[in-house]
Chain A
Amino acid sequence: MYEYGHFQFAFAVQAGNGFRQKETRCCFLVIAQIGKASMLVQNLLNGLMSGWIYILVALGLTLVLSIVGIVQFAHGEVYMVGAYIVYYFCVSAGLNFFLSLLISILCTGLLGIILERFFLRPFRDDMEGAIITTIALILILQTAVVATAGVSYKDVPSPIQGVLTLLGARLSWERLITILISIALVSGLLIFINKTRIGQAMIAVSEDRSAAALMGLNVNRVSSVAMFLGCALAAAAGGLTGTIFVLTPFMGGFALMKGIEVIILGGLGSISGTIIGGLILGLVDGLVTPLLSVQIAGIIELTVIILILLFRPQGLLGHE
């Protein structure tokens, strides 16, 4: 079962004071308070934070798509696995949150390398096969987590308590740190791509795989690196999300959808497009959801995405 609205449900609940919560899984009815400036700033912050999480997920997805050549439908599950690894090390093993995050990033990256080698590489030019194999991966990863951790909601305690008060709005340090870490990770990725030889190799492979191979680049190794980075980013996103929202084994589908939407919105092949697209999406979620509803935010976004696919497939900044 995919729980699409999980993220936004928790989102709406945490959007500020005075909201009544309903405990049932599928009911996202929230009464919104319109208009207060502090509420607006808070929603903006939540939107920005969501946006950066979406950017992390989308960048990971884009890396795999342009370099490994496959739409990695199990990317959401990788995000989820990353979150659960953080939970395990942080809660069960009692390690420091940031250390757990680092371990999760590394482990998930390595998992990604294994997945790419055995499950993705054979289907590089085979769309039908790629769809099936990634669906199989979704089932495997999800079930593995359900079997080991169960379906009940898990909670990762936040590493930094406390709030910053700005213009009457209470901005939790947690969310600010999440944004900062995301920005740091994305910057790190950009530096890596632009300044290292492997990064440049990745750009070459993404433009033309056969030409890159003919030039002597080890395409398989580049693919592995891309997959490592892609899954690492997803794991980071999952781990950061875990401190703010609850974890369920079914949170992956939502992340995947958002990732694909960001890529389409921002444009395939454009990193700046992905960043802008992610921020736009996050802000829409952050502002529309408390005001109207999770469903309306989704409907607006999907309408725009579908229209983009039909009439401006290169998105905002893409080049294809």
Chain B
Amino acid sequence: MSKRKLIKRFSYKVIPFILLFVPLFITQAYVLHLLIMIAINVVLASSLRFVAISGQFSLVHAGMVSIGAYTSTLLVMKLGLSFWAALPLAGLLAMIIALLVGYPFVRLKGIYFTMVTLFLTEFIRLTAEQWRSLTGGVSGIIAIPRPNAVIIPGLLNASFASKTDFYYLALIMVAVTLWVLYAIESSRIGMTFLSIQQSDSLAESLGVNSSGFRVLAFSLGCFFAGIAGAFYSHYLSAITPASFGFLLSIYVFIYMVVGGMQRFSGPIIGACVLTLIPEFARGFKEYEPFVFAAILLLVIFFLRGGLVSLPQSLSYYIKKRWSHA
């Protein structure tokens, strides 16, 4: 027990410290880009897990990212809002849409909920392709402006012309997301989500509005997906409907499962490891999906708790071996 507490304390203090100073040592744009993509994926995977702990597997995340991306882009480019206003509004719109579809959706059980979220993602993508006047259709939108510069004389000059500024913004986004998600999950609200996941009939009989809580988990998860989408669009400066197809939903789902759904840190680890895999698969880019598939199969056959349960499984396995000796 104390070993785990030590590791926890270590990660909470030291890792953020290290992350803060990374750009001082690493200036290659490509490495910073990678870290930023990891940050985005951490936000997506963690917020997907937040929906999962209430007992539902959602595949609509890509659609919500899309809504966030397009909303922020259009608010900035068509209405002239500042990025700093557009970002939360984008998340808010994703959340509102999730609330609206959430109430009918959460009544569906199991795989049907997952299916209907998959269809919604496709629906959103097709709408983005069709509504050319709003979204630029299939070719999407380009030349999305950078976030408005933040200038505090003498202290801060962030013009977002370089990746470093985006890196810090990504760091803030991850920190805020994880803080909110963790705060909620470690409170009794989190306990309530977990109780619904295990037995919604028992929870209902104890006064828990299981549909209401499911919608809450769903909308909050989608809020952060929207935020990630808004960040993504202003970072990459170009978006198309195809970038938010159901494949993205599936990848986020994979990050969550491979990392491990039982623990809060699971999706974080999953996102980090799996975002980096394509980097190491550079030499054999064609076969990269094989590596993904292999990891998926390994996890599903041998390590159901995900990577985050690896130390536990290993020590259990070692103990078993030792006790035979």
Contact = CB atoms under 8 A, between A and B. Distances in A.
Chains A and B share a contact (CB less than 8 Å): yes
Contacts of A293: 130
A177 B188 CA distance: 63
Contact of A143 (B108, B125, B246, B289): B289
A37 to B, nearest CB: 28
B123 A133 contact: no
Interface residues of A, number: 40
Q: How large is the interface on B (under 10, 10 to 19, 20 to 34, 35 or more residues)?
A: 35 or more
Say whether chain B's binding surface is mostly helix, strand, loop, or mixed.
helix
B172 interface: no
Contacts of A299: 123, 126-127, 130
Contacts of B293: 136-137, 139-140, 143
A306 B120 contact: yes
B119 A306 contact: yes
A184 interface: no
B300 to A, nearest CB: 5
B169 to A, nearest CB: 29
A143 B290 contact: yes
Contacts, number: 105
Contacts of B242: 1, 26
Given A71-B111, A310-B105, 4 more contacts: A2-B245, A139-B290, A309-B115, A310-B107
Interface of B: 57, 104-105, 107-108, 110-112, 114-116, 119-120, 122-123, 125-127, 129-130, 138-139, 240, 242, 245-247, 250, 253-254, 257, 286-290, 292-293, 296-297, 299-301, 304
13 contacts: A4-B122, A27-B139, A123-B300, A132-B254, A133-B297, A135-B296, A257-B122, A293-B130, A295-B127, A299-B123, A302-B123, A309-B112, A310-B105
Interface of A: 1-2, 4, 26-28, 71, 122-123, 127-129, 131-133, 135-137, 139-140, 142-143, 146-147, 253, 257, 260, 264, 293, 295-296, 298-299, 302-303, 305-306, 309-310, 313
Report the 9 A-B pairs with minimum CB-CB distance, sorted nearest first. A295-B130, A139-B293, A139-B289, A136-B296, A136-B293, A143-B289, A302-B123, A295-B126, A298-B126
